[in-house]
Structure formats: structure tokens, C-alpha cells
């Protein structure tokens, strides 16, 4: 067995991957990626792919930057680790918390570091309850989230999320104290309901849920500005702001899960306030915070929350690697690069081009909907455009398209019948053209194959 095959074989023999499907993993060797630069990946056989997935919604500044490697190496050499528990700190953690306070909206001037997005959600959940308790509102322990949401994979964050397929029967989830309201999926809104009426309906449903649970028992509402892994769910105009206003009326903390939407994906540092007009009490972020160069997450929260928590009490939450010096150094360099290269402006401009070009795919017979904003997008594949009926599950259309695209040198992510994309912010026009051309080709090839197999599409 040569070294190359060794990797796949060793992996198959010993690794348990996140979200793996046991039977298919046992049957098929994993794709071994060896190198990355900018928007591109190369596999172990030297095949090049344009990674329109952006790693996993995270490689915002693009891969292979020497400057990042140098910043990481320099910090590892100077101080690879020192904890930030109780009253110890170091330069990178202090500087990064100040920088995050500077770029976060409103009075979100306080930062609690975590190890990624899930632990940020978990920590925000705990902080919300802690905050209310400090203010004497001891009953506020319940939270509300939405259908089709993904908030991570710790016990608490997976329980808060509600995406079809995530809550498998073999695992146990926390249900008590966690409530859900409808997904704001404009494409799949009830037939003959206008978008504004749909928005009214969602807000009324939220109010009704709050009344049912009891507003005095609800600590927080969790919301991704655009529900990413749930299928790039595009809410109706004004939705997020109105949900935030409802939260304000009832003293419910509005927690924006900006793990995907943060750090430029929608052309702003954060999207809840600057894109959708909703000022969060907390922002959970990760991914683009370091562009995936180091694992790191953060809860950025308001001065009001910080003030309320003061006193003769312990904040008994945090991780060995909270504020890890090397991860913080990477995040600082990443933010510096985004600023220096004006990547927020670039993402705005190229994001508009990306959406325009992708929209042309809606004419394809298999495509029911192309949606997104900035550099996050989804193609929803259907059997019938008019009725929006799905193809049978066993067709596995999203995976067939992504496999075909992979053969054409393009990576898109399948989620059920969807194909989602979140390319690095540094993507160029030529690369956008490549993504759209190859995806069109892949969808066409899959549609032809399905038609040949007698599957009805139209
Ligand atoms: C919106 C959202 N929140 C939270 C998470 C969890 O982040 P992590 O995988 O870094 O724990 C993800 C991951 O995809 C996400 O998309």
C-alpha cells in the first residue's frame, strides 16, 4: 500500500467523521485533500477544485496565505499557550476582544471567547439565563429558535437547532425549555400568501408562541440572519427586524447566530444590524473570525448584559482554549487582511455578480429556486417547478449534482435536494463564471441522466 492510499485506508480504519453515514463511508474511500490556495483545493492525486463551499462556510480570506502562517508561527513560538481563566490574559486575547468590540454593532463591547460556533451558542444560552437570573428574573430559562435552523453540535446547540435530519433517533436531545417557530422560508410559504402576509403570519406566530410559553419565562431567541445549513433560507423583507422588535417588547434577548453570516459574507462585519436592521444583544461568531486558519469562536455581548452580571458571583463557564493565543493571533491577522484588502466592499460587489449569474440557473428544468445574498447561495432542485414537488429521496439529487460538479472541478455542498455555496470572499469574476458554468453543466448532466432513467422532470 503506498502512502497515498494509506491516508484513506488509515482514515477508514480509525476515524469517525462528523455527520458520517456509516454504510456509505464503509463502501467508499474518503476524498483526501492535500493543499489549498485562495479558492482552490487540490486532492491527493493533484486534481484541482474550485471550492465554492469555502471549506465549510469559513475560508473567507482564502487558503494558503503566507502572512497567516507567519502570524500563527510567530505566536506559537512566542507564547503557544497561556490560559485566560479568572484574571490572567495575554496580548492576542485582549487585542482581539477590543477589535471585536470595535467592529460589532451598538454597545456589544464585551467578548467571551469559545472554541468554535457550537460552543459560542452553548455559552450564549448559558449567559442568557445567567443574565436574567442576576436581574432577579429566575424563571427566564426557556429559549425559542426556528425550524430549519442549525446552531451547532454540542448537546445544547444541536437541541436548539431544528433541521430535518439532524435529530436522529439514536441520539438523545434536550427538549425541555426549547421551543421552535416556523422557518421563514419565502420559497415554501403557503400557496397564495404574499411575502408581506407571510411576514405578518410569522411575527404573529412568534407572538403566539411567546404567549403560550409565557414571556416571563423566555430568556432568549436564537436566529441566524440567514439560516445557512437549513438551506440558505431567505426570510421575507423586514422579518428579522420585526422579530427583534417583538423580543424587545418582552425583554427577550435577541441572540444573532452570525457563525456563517459574520466577517463579510454579506458584505458587512455582521449582518443582523447592518443588513437586516436588528441590533442583537449577543452575537455568536466563529468560522470567518479566523477564516478557518485556527479553531476559535466568540460571544460578543452588550455592556448592559455585562453590567447586570457584576457582583459577588462567579461566571462559571469557559474552556481551556478560550482566548487561545495562537487562535487569537490568527483572528487578528485575518481581520487585518479583511480591512487592508477591503474585502467587505469586494464581497458586496462580487456577491451581487455571483447572485446575478446564479439566477440564470433558474431557467433549468430541474431548478425550482435560486436564492441567496452576497456570497451565500442555494440552488433548490425540484421534480416540478410549478408544484415545487421534490424528487424521490432515493434520487439523492443534491449529492448527484455535487458529485458530478466535483468531476468537473467544482465543489458545491449537497444538503438533501439542495446545493449550497459560500465561496471565499476573495473570489474573482472569472471564478464566479467558472462556478456557474460548471454547476449549470452538472445540473444539466444529472437532469439528462434522470430523464434517461425515466424520472419525470419539468
Ligand atoms: C449558523 C451556525 N451556527 C453554529 C455552527 C456551529 O459551529 P461549529 O461547527 O464551529 O461548532 C454552525 C456550523 O456550521 C453554523 O452554521
What would the 3-class secondary structure string for the chain be? CCHHHHHHHHHHHHCCCCCCCHHHHHHCCCCCEEEEEECEEEECCCCEEEECCHHHHCCCCCECCHHHHHHHHHHHHHHCCCCCCCCCCCHHHHHHHHHHHHHCCCCCCEEEEECCHHHHHHHHHHHHHHHHHHCCCCCCCEEEEECCECCCCCHHHHHHCECCCCCCCCCCCCCCCEEEECCCCCCCCCCCCCHHHHHHHHHHHHHHHHHHHCHHHEEEEEECCCECCCCCECCCCCHHHHHHHHHHHHCCEEEEECCCCCCCCCCCCCHHHHCCCCCCCEEEECHHHCCCCCCCEEEEECHHHHHHHCCCCCCCCCCCCCCCHHHHHHHHHHHHHHHHCCHHHHHHHHHHHHHHHHHHHHHCCCEEEEEEECCEEEEEECCECCCCECCCHHHCHHHHHHHHHHHCCEECEEECCEEEECCCCCCCHHHHHHHHHHHHHHHHHHHHHHHHCCCCCC
* Backbone phi, psi, residue 162, to 5°: -155, 80
Rg (Cα) of the chain, in Å, rounded? 22
The answer to whether residue 298 sits within a structural domain is yes
Between the CA of 439 and the centroid of ligand 1 the distance, in Å, is 25
Q: Which of 285, 315, 340 is the last residue of a domain?
A: 340
Between the CA of 311 and the centroid of ligand 1 the distance, in Å, is 32
The answer to whether residue 256 sits within a structural domain is yes
Between the CA of 118 and the centroid of ligand 1 the distance, in Å, is 6
List the CATH number of the domain containing 166.
3.40.640.10
The answer to whether residue 241 sits within a structural domain is yes
Q: What angle do CA 185, 191, 194 make, to 5 degrees?
A: 70
Q: Are 347 and 265 in contact (CB under 8 A)?
A: yes
Which residues form the domain of 125?
67-340
My answer on whether 306 and 426 are in the same domain is no
The answer to whether residue 117 sits within a structural domain is yes
Between the CA of 150 and the centroid of ligand 1 the distance, in Å, is 7
- pLDDT for 458 equals 77
Please tell me the distance from the alpha carbon of residue 72 to that of residue 333, in angstroms, as a whole number. Answer: 9
My answer on whether 122 and 261 are in the same domain is yes
- pLDDT for 164 equals 85
Among residues 55, 34, 36, which one has the least CA distance to residue 375? 55
C-alpha cell at position 210: 411567546
The answer to whether residue 134 sits within a structural domain is yes
Q: Are 302 and 128 in contact (CB under 8 A)?
A: no
- pLDDT for 404 equals 98
Substitution candidate for ligand 1 out of 282, 287, 296, 297 with most atoms within 8 A of CB:
287
Please tell me the distance from the alpha carbon of residue 35 to that of residue 452, in angstroms, as a whole number. Answer: 37
Q: What is the mean pLDDT of the chain?
A: 97
My answer on whether 348 and 335 are in the same domain is no
Atom of ligand 1 nearest to the CA of 116: 10
My answer on whether 50 and 99 are in the same domain is no
My answer on whether 93 and 229 are in the same domain is yes
My answer on whether 425 and 412 are in the same domain is yes
My answer on whether 226 and 325 are in the same domain is yes
Q: Are 32 and 8 in contact (CB under 8 A)?
A: yes
Nearest Cα residue to atom 5 of ligand 1: 152
- pLDDT for 446 equals 98
- pLDDT for 5 equals 65
My answer on whether 234 and 369 are in the same domain is no
The answer to whether residue 375 sits within a structural domain is yes
List the CATH number of the domain containing 39.
3.90.1150.10
My answer on whether 78 and 175 are in the same domain is yes
The answer to whether residue 261 sits within a structural domain is yes
Query: In angstroms, how far is CA 406 from the centroid of its own chain?
Result: 22
- pLDDT for 456 equals 86
The answer to whether residue 102 sits within a structural domain is yes
Please tell me the distance from the alpha carbon of residue 164 to that of residue 145, in angstroms, as a whole number. Answer: 14
Which residues 6+ apart lie within 8 Å of 200 measured at CB?
A: none
Between the CA of 117 and the centroid of ligand 1 the distance, in Å, is 5
Q: Are 44 and 9 in contact (CB under 8 A)?
A: no
Rounded alpha-carbon distances, angstroms, from residue 357 to 82, 363, 381, 430, 431: 47, 12, 17, 11, 11
Length of the chain: 458
Between the CA of 58 and the centroid of ligand 1 the distance, in Å, is 10
What's the domain count of the chain? 2
My answer on whether 128 and 117 are in the same domain is yes
Rounded alpha-carbon distances, angstroms, from residue 165 to 43, 140, 168, 289, 364: 29, 29, 6, 28, 27
Q: What residues in the chain have per-residue pLDDT under 70?
A: 1-5
Atom of ligand 1 nearest to the CA of 149: 1
Substitution candidate for ligand 1 out of 57, 114, 117 with most atoms within 8 A of CB:
117
Edge to edge, the sheet with strand 178-181 lists 110-114, 297-301, 282-285, 253-257, 218-223, 142-146, 178-181
pLDDT tens per residue, range 356-402: 999 999 999 999 999 999 999 999 999 999 999 999 999 999 999 99
My answer on whether 232 and 361 are in the same domain is no
Please tell me the distance from the alpha carbon of residue 322 to that of residue 335, in angstroms, as a whole number. Answer: 18
Q: Which of 280, 308, 340 is the last residue of a domain?
A: 340
My answer on whether 368 and 348 are in the same domain is yes
Q: Which of 286, 311, 340 is the last residue of a domain?
A: 340
Substitution candidate for ligand 1 out of 151, 161, 296 with most atoms within 8 A of CB:
151
Pocket of ligand 1 from Cβ distances under 6 Å: 57, 116-118, 121, 150-152, 224, 228-229, 257, 259-260, 286
Please tell me the distance from the alpha carbon of residue 441 to that of residue 317, in angstroms, as a whole number. Answer: 50
Amino acid at each position: 500500500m503506498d502512502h497515498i492510499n494509506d491516508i484513506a485506508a488509515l482514515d477508514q480504519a480509525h476515524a469517525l467523521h462528523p455527520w458520517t453515514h456509516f454504510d456509505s463511508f464503509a463502501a467508499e474511500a474518503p476524498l483526501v485533500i492535500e493543499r489549498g490556495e485562495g479558492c482552490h483545493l487540490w486532492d491527493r492525486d493533484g486534481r484541482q477544485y474550485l471550492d465554492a463551499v469555502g471549506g465549510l462556510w469559513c475560508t473567507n480570506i482564502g487558503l494558503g496565505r503566507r502572512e497567516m502562517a507567519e502570524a500563527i508561527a510567530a505566536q506559537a513560538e512566542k507564547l503557544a499557550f497561556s490560559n485566560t481563566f479568572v484574571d490572567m490574559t495575554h496580548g492576542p486575547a485582549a487585542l482581539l476582544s477590543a477589535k471585536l468590540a470595535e467592529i460589532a454593532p451598538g454597545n456589544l463591547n464585551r467578548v467571551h471567547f469559545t472554541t468554535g460556533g457550537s460552543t459560542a451558542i452553548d455559552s450564549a444560552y448559558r449567559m442568557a439565563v445567567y443574565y436574567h437570573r442576576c436581574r432577579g428574573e429566575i424563571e427566564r430559562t426557556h429559549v425559542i429558535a426556528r425550524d430549519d435552523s442549525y446552531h451547532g453540535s454540542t448537546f445544547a446547540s444541536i437541541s436548539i437547532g431544528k433541521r430535518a435530519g439532524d435529530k436522529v433517533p439514536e441520539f438523545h436531545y434536550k427538549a425541555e425549555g426549547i421551543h421552535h417557530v416556523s422557518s421563514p422560508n419565502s420559497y415554501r410559504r403557503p400557496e397564495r400568501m404574499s411575502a408581506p402576509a407571510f411576514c405578518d403570519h410569522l411575527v404573529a406566530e412568534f407572538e403566539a408562541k411567546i404567549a403560550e410559553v409565557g414571556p416571563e419565562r423566555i430568556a432568549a431567541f436564537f436566529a441566524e440572519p440567514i439560516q445557512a445549513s437549513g438551506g440558505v433560507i431567505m426570510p421575507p423583507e423586514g422579518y428579522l427586524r420585526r422579530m427583534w422588535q417583538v423580543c424587545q417588547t418582552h425583554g427577550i434577548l435577541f441572540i444573532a447566530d452570525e457563525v456563517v453570516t459574520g466577517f463579510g459574507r454579506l458584505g458587512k462585519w455582521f449582518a443582523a444590524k447592518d443588513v437586516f436592521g436588528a441590533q442583537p444583544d449577543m452575537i455568536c461568531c466563529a468560522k470567518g473570525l479566523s477564516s478557518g486558519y485556527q479553531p476559535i469562536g466568540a460571544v460578543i455581548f452588550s455592556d448592559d448584559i455585562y453590567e447586570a452580571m457584576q457582583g459577588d458571583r462567579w461566571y462559571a463557564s469557559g474552556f481551556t482554549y478560550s482566548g487561545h493565543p495562537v487562535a487569537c493571533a490568527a483572528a487578528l491577522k485575518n481581520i487585518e487582511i479583511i480591512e487592508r484588502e477591503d474585502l467587505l466592499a469586494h464581497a458586496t460587489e462580487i456577491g451581487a455578480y455571483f447572485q446575478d449569474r446564479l439566477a440564470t440557473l433558474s431557467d433549468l428544468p430541474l431548478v425550482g429556486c435560486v436564492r441567496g445574498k452576497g456570497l451565500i447561495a442555494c440552488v433548490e432542485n425540484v421534480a416540478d417547478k410549478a408544484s415545487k414537488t421534490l424528487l424521490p429521496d432515493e434520487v439523492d439529487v443534491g449529492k448527484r449534482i455535487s458529485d458530478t460538479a466535483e468531476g468537473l472541478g467544482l465543489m458545491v455542498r449537497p444538503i438533501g435536494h439542495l446545493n449550497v455555496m459560500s465561496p471565499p470572499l476573495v473570489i474573482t469574476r472569472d471564478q464566479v463564471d467558472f462556478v456557474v458554468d460548471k454547476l449549470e453543466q452538472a445540473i444539466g448532466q444529472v437532469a439528462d441522466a434522470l430523464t434517461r432513467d425515466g424520472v419525470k422532470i419539468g
